[in-house]
Amino acid sequence: MDVLSLESIEKLTKHVTDNPNCQMVADEFEELSERLSLQYVAISYEIQLDGVSLALPDSKSDRKLSDAENVKILYGALSDLTPAQATDERLWTTLLLHYFQEYTKVRWWDENLEKNPPRKQYKAHWLCGTSSRARQRDHSIARLWWMGYFASRLEGADIDDVTKVLFNNSDYRASLLERTTSTGASNVLRAIVEITREAFDEGLEYERQKTREFMKQVNFIAGRTNLSALTDVQLIKLLKPVYREVYFSSAKASKGIVDKFKGFVVGS
């Protein structure tokens, strides 16, 4: 497969930066490609997307439901990609511009142009940004693959439950994925997803600061307990009270419940 060169992506980024409306990126890409003399280079891994199409949301309220469906579709088609290959911004930019423009327009275009001007929308969802985190969180297509990869690591977990939790809030996903303790062991990951899924189902709404505090406490506990050695049941028994305490009490109180569980051992 041929993908846009890094130099060409830089040209696209500059075009978006220099042109407030920059509509040609979405509406007339072939003409823009000629104007900017965009070039393509070969990559060593195979991509096969013939017959693959993503579900288009019918309305803004339908976006999260279509996200969950599209995770299955896209990751199923590209499950042979490695995480290293999936960090390649050339791949995602090219796939979006040549295969998934229509989906991205429907899914991401915000008509409130004062709040989200075109250049901001294009940089966030069409182009890949400057960091791997931005690609995992914001890029229209890359985020679907990364959520599929994330869910695939949770052996035995229901993918619908996992995507329901992951797409509840973008800040929540970031809090979960940024923590090396939570992403390093699949059993810890499963337990956290189950705890938060149950809370969401009960109407306990996501709060950014409290979730970040909970994830900090998970890392704190991991420094004193080998979490990877615990079963899912043991992990939920250990971490669920911490989650509840963080959400219902002050930070000082949540520190107290962490202290209470320092002595937790396998088999308790």
Q: How do residues 145-171 score in pLDDT, each as one tens digit?
A: 988 888 887 777 777 777 777 776 667
Looking at residue 223, its pLDDT comes to 85
- CA 183 distance to own-chain centroid: 13
Q: What percent of the chain has pLDDT over 90?
A: 38
Looking at residue 158, its pLDDT comes to 73
Residue 254 confidence (pLDDT) above 50: no
Other CB atoms within 10 A of residue 252 CB? 7
Looking at residue 110, its pLDDT comes to 84
Looking at residue 4, its pLDDT comes to 96
Q: Are 199 and 243 contacting, i.e. CB atoms less than 8 angstroms apart?
A: yes
Alpha-carbon gap, residue 100 to 33, rounded angstroms: 17
Residue 251 confidence (pLDDT) above 80: no
pLDDT-derived band at 267, boundaries 50, 70, 90:
very low
Other CB atoms within 10 A of residue 29 CB? 17
Q: What is the greatest pairwise CA distance in the chain?
A: 67
Residue 36 confidence (pLDDT) above 90: yes
pLDDT digits (tens, 9 = 90+) for 82-118: 999 999 999 999 999 999 999 999 998 888 887 888 8
pLDDT-derived band at 174, boundaries 50, 70, 90:
low
Q: What is the DSSP string of 58-108?
A: SSGGGHHHHHHHHHHHHHHHSTT--TTGGG-HHHHHHHHHHH-HHHHHHHH
pLDDT-derived band at 62, boundaries 50, 70, 90:
confident
Looking at residue 177, its pLDDT comes to 65
pLDDT-derived band at 256, boundaries 50, 70, 90:
low
Alpha-carbon gap, residue 117 to 19, rounded angstroms: 11
Q: What percent of the chain has pLDDT over 70?
A: 85
Residue predicted with more confidence, 66 or 79: 79
Looking at residue 130, its pLDDT comes to 66
Closest-CA residue to 179 (of 219, 129, 119, 223): 219
Q: Which whole number is the average pLDDT over 46-53?
A: 89
Residue predicted with more confidence, 113 or 8: 8
Q: Are 154 and 162 contacting, i.e. CB atoms less than 8 angstroms apart?
A: yes
Half-sphere exposure of 2 (CA within 13 A, CB side): 5
Closest-CA residue to 202 (of 248, 250, 170, 234): 248
pLDDT-derived band at 245, boundaries 50, 70, 90:
very high
Closest-CA residue to 181 (of 151, 150, 214, 219): 219
Q: Which residues does 57 contact at the CB level (< 8 Å), separation at least 6? A: 63, 65, 66, 106, 107
Helix axes 186-201, 208-222, angle to 10 degrees: 150
Closest-CA residue to 177 (of 201, 228, 123, 188): 188
Residue predicted with more confidence, 258 or 48: 48
Least confident range from 113-117, 159-163, 183-187, 251-255: namely 251-255
